[in-house]
Structure 1
Amino acid sequence: MPKIIGGSLEQHREQTRRRVFDALTSLLAERSFDALSMADLAAQAGIGRTAIYNHFADKDAVVVAFASAETDRYLDRLGQALAGATGPADAMRIYIREHVSSSDEFHFGFGPELYAMLSRESIAEIREHVVAVESVLRTIIDDGIAAGEFAIDDVASTMALVHSSLATRRATPTAVEQYVLRALGA
């Protein structure tokens, strides 16, 4: 009988999943996704080679579950921060600060190289998580337009431009915040 870590089966499953996720990020820093095997993930996570299949069907399933867990954690944190927003411009400031300040903690996308190796089904599942984050930004922008705080015509393009601005590593969070709010007409 395998050893159960944690105080319950549920805790065991969560801790095992977290160990596999940590193994995934660690191994992806060393090599490409196609060079990883489930056995590599299991060994790095410190679990049995066959035990990993009790949690994940394949490597794609690990990536999708990881993306889901990261998105859920990020959305919880973002929601708590946005609860104190005093209006759309303030909500945009919070959105920007949370995204920039948490970029080291959360894994925002694996890059086109990894996505090219995933199945269409896995990409579609990951896209659902991207849409969940985008819906928060869309709500902030829609609220800003409705309140007359943002002067924009094309919400979809604006969302893409905001997210592009957040991807920069050379600008300070304050500079990004000022730039985006000026662009929105706030």
Structure 2
Amino acid sequence: MPRITGDSLAEHREQLQRRVFDAFAALMSERSFDAVSMAQIAERAELGRTTIYHHFHDKESVVVAFASHETARYVEELRDTLGATDDPAERLRIYVRHHLDAGERFHMGLGPSLYGVLSPDSRLAIREHVVAVEDVLRDILESGRAAGAFAFEDTAATMSLVHACLSPRHLPPSTIESFVLGAVGAAGSGPAVPAGG
């Protein structure tokens, strides 16, 4: 029987998963998903080749578990930070800053190129975790609009446009933040972009 680390079986599994996730993240920073094998993940995590299969069926299951774990952490940190204020504009600023500061750390390697090689079931499982992040933005936007702090028509379209603005890493965060706040008509952030123009 393998040696148990930690104070309980649950803690042992959590530690083992963390090692696998760290190994997976490190390997994905060095090579493509296709070039990563379960044997390499096990070796980098300092696990036996058979041990990793007791916890993960294949490398797609590693991706899904990694995405689930990282998204849960991301949303927990984001909600904790948002809890400091009720001001809609400040909450949207926090969302933008948090995404720009932590996005690469939390979502490393989970971009379109990886998403495209996963099975439909794995894509769906990861999509469910992305929705958790989208729900936070939806709440910020809709509560801000209800309070009269934001002016926009279509929530889904506005969410897509906000997330599109958060992708370019070559722009200063303050520029992205100002643009997003102006686009939703936040007071003192410039005029909202008119519908259709």
TM-score normalized by the length of structure 2: 0.89
Quote how far apart the aligned CAs of 1:68 are: 0.3
The whole-number CA distance in structure 2 between the counterparts of 1:102 and 1:122 is: 23
Q: CA RMSD in A?
A: 1.3
Deviation of residue 104 (structure 1)? 4.1
Q: SS at the partner of 2:105?
A: coil
Distance across 1 between alignment mates of 2:46 and 2:132: 32
Give the equivalent residue in structure 2 for 1:157.
Answer: 157
d(CA) in 2 for partners of 1:111 and 1:132? 17
Summarize the alignment of residues 64-75 of structure 1 with structure 2, pairs less than 5 Å apart: 64-75=64-75
Gaps of 5+ in 1: none
Give me the whole-angstrom Cα distance separating, in 2, the residues matched to 1:16 and 1:45: 8
Spell out structure 1 runs of 4+ moving beyond 3 A: none
In 2, Cα distance between the equivalents of 1:87 and 1:74? Answer: 21
Residue 70 (structure 1) shift: 0.4
Over the matched positions of the two proteins, sequence identity in percent amounts to 55
Match of 1:128 in 2: 128
Match of 1:29 in 2: 29
Displacement of 1:77 in angstroms is 0.4
In structure 2, the CA distance between the partners of 1:108 and 1:35, relative to structure 1 (3 Å rule), is closer
Q: Is 1:38–2:19 an aligned residue pair?
A: no
1:31-64 Cα distance to aligned partner (Å, 9 max, x none): 2212222111111110010100111111111000
CA distance in 2, matches of 1:58, 1:90: 42
Q: Residue 142 of structure 2 aligns to a residue in which SS?
A: helix
Residue number in structure 2 paired with 1:59: 59
User: Residues 160-175 of structure 1 correspond to what in structure 2 (within 5 A)?
Assistant: 160-175=160-175
How far did residue 25 of structure 1 move? 1.1
Match of 1:119 in 2: 119
**Equivalent in the alignment of 1:100:** 100
SS at match of 1:102: helix
In structure 2, relative to structure 1, the CA distance for the partners of 1:170 and 1:25 (3 Å cut) is: same
CA distance in 1, matches of 2:5, 2:149: 51
Greater displacement, 166-175 / 38-47 = 166-175
Q: Distance in 1 between matches of 2:22 and 2:79?
A: 25
Residues in 1 aligned to 2:133 and 2:94: alpha-carbon distance in whole angstroms: 14
Q: CA deviation at 1:108?
A: 5.4
Cα distance change on mapping 1:168 and 1:90 into 2, 3 Å: same
3-state SS, counterpart of residue 86 of structure 2: coil
Query: For 1:64-102, what per-residue CA distance to the aligned partner results, in whole angstroms no more than 9, with x for missing partners?
Result: 000000000011101101111222111101111111121
State the match for 1:10 in structure 2: 10
Q: 1:85 touches 1:94 (CA, 8 Å); kept in 2?
A: no
Structure 2 alignment gaps of length 5 or more: 187-197
Is the CA contact 2:141–2:150 (under 8 Å) kept in the aligned structure 1? Answer: yes
CA distance in 1, matches of 2:66, 2:95: 22
